[in-house]
A = this chain, B = another copy of it.
Amino acid sequence: MRYLETFRLIEAVARAGSIRKAAEDANITASALNRRIARFEEEFGAPLFERLSRGVRLNPAGELVLRHYLAQRSDLARVKSQVADLSGERRGHVSIACSQALLPYFLPEQIALYRREHPGVSFGINVRDREAAERDLENFASDLALVFEPVRLVDFEVIHSVTQAVCAVFSPQHPLASRDELRLRDCLDHGHIAPSARYGVRSLLDIAAKSRHRRVDPRVETESFELIRHYVLHEQLVGFQIAIGLRPDSGICFRSISERDLPRGHLLLGQMRSRALPVAALRFASQLATELERLSESEPPSVR
Q: Residues of A with Cβ closer than 8 Å to B?
A: 1-4, 6, 43-46, 60-61, 64-65, 68, 71-72, 75-76, 79-80, 82-83, 86-87, 274, 276
Contacts and interface: CB of A to CB of B under 8 A. Distances in A.
Given A1-B44, A6-B3, A44-B1, A86 B61 contact: yes
Contact of A64 (B2, B6, B82): B82
Given A64-B83, A72-B72, A72-B75, 9 more contacts: A3-B6, A44-B80, A45-B80, A45-B83, A46-B87, A61-B86, A64-B79, A71-B75, A274-B276
Contacts of A80: 44-45
A170 to B, nearest CB: 47
A278 to B, nearest CB: 12
B87 A43 contact: no
A71 B71 CA distance: 10
Contacts of A75: 68, 71-72
18 contacts: A2-B43, A3-B3, A3-B4, A44-B80, A60-B83, A60-B86, A61-B83, A61-B87, A64-B79, A64-B83, A68-B75, A68-B76, A68-B79, A71-B75, A72-B72, A72-B75, A274-B274, A274-B276
Nearest to A62: B83
A8 to B, nearest CB: 12
